[in-house]
Structure formats: C-alpha cells, structure tokens
Structure 1
Amino acid sequence: MTKRRVSKPVVDLLRVPDGPRDRQLLLGDTVHVAENNDGWSRIVAEKDGYAGWLETDHLSEDMPATHWINAPATHAYVAPDIKSRDLVSLSYGSKIHATAETDRFVQTELGFVPKVHTAAITEKPHDPVAVAELFLGTPYLWGGNSRFGIDCSGLVQAALLACGIPCPGDSGDQEQALGAVLSAESPAQRGDLLFWKGHVAWVSGDNMILHANASHMAVVYEPMDRAIQRIQDQGDGPVTARKRL
C-alpha cells in the first residue's frame, strides 16, 4: 500500500465512495492507500487502523510533520500578520509541516499559523481529560473528529491520541481495548471512562462527566447520576462498563 498524507483541514472517511461518513481525518494524518478508483481512494488510517474511502485529491505526498495544533482551533493566514486574510481553519490535533518559522508564525503549505497555537510534534500533554475539556461547546457531529464537530468516541480518541495513548475510533472498540474494568461499586475518578451501548463519556470530576451527546448536540458537562438516568429513560440502556486507564 502507498503511504499518503491528508492535505485538507478536515476530511470525511466514508463507508463507500460518496456514501455515509463513518469518521473523519485531520490535516497531516497519515494513511495507507489500498485502492484508487475514479477519484476515490480506499485507505487505512495509520493512527487507528480505521478503513474507508475519501476523495483522492484530499491526499498528498507524505511528509514528516514538524508541529501539531494544540489550541482548540486556529487559522492559517496569507501572510505572517494577524490582520491579513485567513485562508483556512485548523482543528486541534492537526499536524503541519513547517517550511519556515518566525518568532510569531509557522509557515506551512496552507499559510502562516500562529506559533502560539502549535507545539513541536514530539511534545505531548499528559492529561487526556484536560484535552477533552478544550472541546467544551463543540457541536455534536456523528462521526466527527474535529473542533468543528465531534461525537462521543471522537472526543475520547482526540484526547488519548494527543497524549500518545493508542485508541480505536468507535466506542464499541474503545470499550474492548481501553483500560481495566471497574466494578459498579468502585468510586469513579477523573479520567475514568463510562460506556453505554453506542456511547462513551469521560469522568471529569466528582459525579460529573464530559461527553459529546446528541441530547445536548454539543460537548457538555453533565452530572453523572443524572446522565445515567436520562440515558436509561430515553431507551438507550444502562452503563455497560466502567473502565480506568
């Protein structure tokens, strides 16, 4: 398979060409192309093994990332000047290749990105819940993986991958792959994960969770006991697992 790099800010990963979105990829994500067919490429994402289709012209030659976006979102400008025209918006977690740097900007193929919104590719945060909290207020989007729209499993994956912790893309796979199982009697603590059938949430504090959910259509804090009861009442079942990383 041929190695390529996502060259657009956010790209939908589709089940079939021109079909429904399963997940998203961000600028700089590395993929392996298994097949090209009439303007579409079937790929496997290097970060999590997720497979699907995307438009071939959303890919470019692979190049090593030098920095990543560590602000919730940022802009690339036409010049190294915050008053110049912005060209694109970039989400947290996007990877960029610097062609030049000043004391205030990183120059990329998409434009000039404020240096304060970037970190060296080797720098990683250590608290995944703190990363997830950067997405507070982000609109809910089924299959979304960016600051512009995200779902429950996307929120978990974005936080863990930023911290260098491998993480699948879907909540069912996350339930199987992540952490150690806790008993129902174990007190929850910050950083635990709660799973339901088709849903996942971070424990962010005492009786508090942080999750992207379709009831609020956003990433929100919600009292844990209230969320468990609400999800049960709306017919989506009980908590299926409590896990600690």
Structure 2
Amino acid sequence: MTARDARLHAFRSDLADARLKGEVAADRFVAGRPARIAAFIADVRKAPRPDAGVNTQALFGDDVLVFEDAEGWAWIQAEGDGYVGYVADTALGGRDHAPTHIVSVPRTFLYPGPDLRFPVSGQLSMGSAVTVTNAAETRGTHYALLSSGEALISGHLRSIAEAAPDYVTVAETFLGTPYLWGGTSGFGIDCSGLVQLAMRMAGRQVLRDTDMQATTIGEPLDPGPELVGLRRGDLVFWKGHVAIMTDAKTMIHANGHTMLVSREGLKEAVARIGYLYGGPTGFRRP
C-alpha cells in the first residue's frame, strides 16, 4: 500500500477515513461527520490528551470532518488544509449557517451586543469565518450582528468571497505578534502559520508545515551564493523554518529569536541562523 503522511490523511491501525479504504490498513473505516469549529481558537494536538503537543490550530468557523468522538476528544481533519489531529470536543459545533464574512484584521473583539462599551464576550483572529445576519450603528460605530446576537466591528470584516491583493501586505500586519509554536492566529503564530494565513487571506490555500510548503508552493529559485534576484513575496526556507521576502534584501518571519513576527535583513538572518542551523535549504516563488 502507498505510504501516506499521517498529518494529511486520517488513519490509525484501528480506524481510518473511509476514503482511504484499499490504500491503508485499518480495523474499521468510517465516513467523516461534517462539523465546524465553534471555539475562538482550537488547538489541534498530536494525541487526545491535554498535555500532548500542539501541531497546529483551527480557527472559528473552520469546517472539519470528525472521524471519532470519545472521552472528550474528537479526531478531526480540517477541510481547508487537510491537517489531521485531535481537538477538545467542546470546540465543535454544527454547520447551521453558511459563513458570509471573514475577519480581516489580525484580531478583533466580540461583543454581546452592538456597543463597544459592553464587556467583551470573546475574541477572534484574522481568518475566522462568521455569519452576519444584520447590522447596527451605535454612536457612529458600525457593527455586524451575528445570529447569536453578538456583534463585531463591521470594518474588521470582509466578504468571504473577497481576497487580499498582496499576501505580503497581510503578513506585515502581524508585525509584533508573539511567536507561538503551532500557532496560526493573530494571538500567536509560527513561521509556516504566518505564510499559510497570509496566503489564505489572499485566496490561496497552502499546506501547513514548513516541509510541505517547501515542496508545494510555487516554483523553486536559485539566487546563488550572493542571494540576488529575489523579490517581494519570495519564500526562503531553512530546515524547519520559512521567511517571506518583503523586498530584495529584507524578510519578515515569525521566529524564535525575537519571539515575534519581525523584519530582518536576509543576509543578516542567513549569518545568524547558519551559526546554529545551517544555511537556507531552498527558495520558492509563489
């Protein structure tokens, strides 16, 4: 049988996605049950335990398939990027309403009604999908109302059908955001999460992890030892790391050095990172 990446295909020895029947070995095959992430952010873990490592995160409104729900944990696959893992079953909800809008700023607050003076009832990251049912205005501030009666600042949303024209500009809005291993949101993000979310907002769904992105996004480049010919939007890969070029000489990346999303000169980064981890392993142009 063909080898499959368990990060992108739901299979275990005892249970597997019915779509993989004949391709993987398992005691039982099931069809995924459609669900939607109802938590503001859901940690997607390696195992169904609260102390298991976080591989990635799912955002509010993300559609998923559920293959197992047991002892407080759901084994899911995200429909967007195909990532497989475990989330708390309390993070799941139904698909009662089709999302109409998406959060288009790094982070925003959810209010119990259309008034910014109300106590905050939640917070959403860029990329979160919501269903707007009405609008309201209070003291000149415009709000989008959800079916729950909660409200968001309408200027923090855009139609789910719209796409940002430049993914690098989206990435630049995250400058100063804390670095978080496995993070994919405006509250904490890692290097490949920054690439994925910025591209998602520009209408392009890409895979989650650095090794996946290094072989699937765009076309390879060879800037040579002098690192010439790079331009805005090109990607630079190291083993386990990725950065986005903002111009021919400067990049932006979520990194463990500053523990922030920050700008850095490419040559300076190559010298700094190379001391411990070696030089770039590849360059790609989306």
TM-score of Structure 1 vs Structure 2, range by shorter chain: over 0.9
Which residue number in structure 2 is paired with residue 228 of structure 1? 270
Tell me, yes or no, if structure 1 residue 2 matches structure 2 residue 40. no
Count matched residues. 244
Alignment of 1:240 with 2:273, yes or no, is no
Contact persistence 2:223–2:230 (CA under 8 A): no
Instruction: Map 1:1-245 onto structure 2 (within 5 A).
Output: 1-18=32-49, 19-62=52-95, 63-102=97-136, 104-108=142-146, 109=148, 111-185=150-224, 186-233=228-275, 235-245=276-286
Q: How far apart are 1:102 and its partner, in Å?
A: 2.6
The amino acid that maps onto 1:28 is G
Over 3 Å counting, the alpha-carbon distance change for 1:194 and 1:71 in structure 2 is same
Say if 2:113 and 2:149, in contact at 8 Å, map to a contact too. Answer: no
The structure number with the bigger radius of gyration is 2
Distance 2:195 2:145 in 1: 30
TM-score normalised per structure 2: 0.83
Q: Please tell me the residue identity of whatever aligns with 1:6.
A: I
Name the one with the larger strand percent: 1
Residue identity matched to 2:91: H
- What is the CA–CA distance in structure 2 between the aligned matches of 1:64 and 1:38, rounded to whole Å? 29
Cα distance between partner residues in 1 of 2:195 and 2:249: 18
Q: Report if the CA contact (8 A) 2:210-2:240 is conserved.
A: yes
Structure 1 unaligned residues grouped into runs of 5+:
none
Q: 1:12 to 1:189 in 2, by over 3 A?
A: same
What per-residue deviation string (whole Å, max 9, x for no partner) do you get for residues 135-185 of structure 1? 110000000001110000000000111111121110000001101111133
Aligned-pair identity (%):
37
Q: Hey, what's the Cα distance between the residues in 1 that align with 2:212 and 2:110?
A: 34
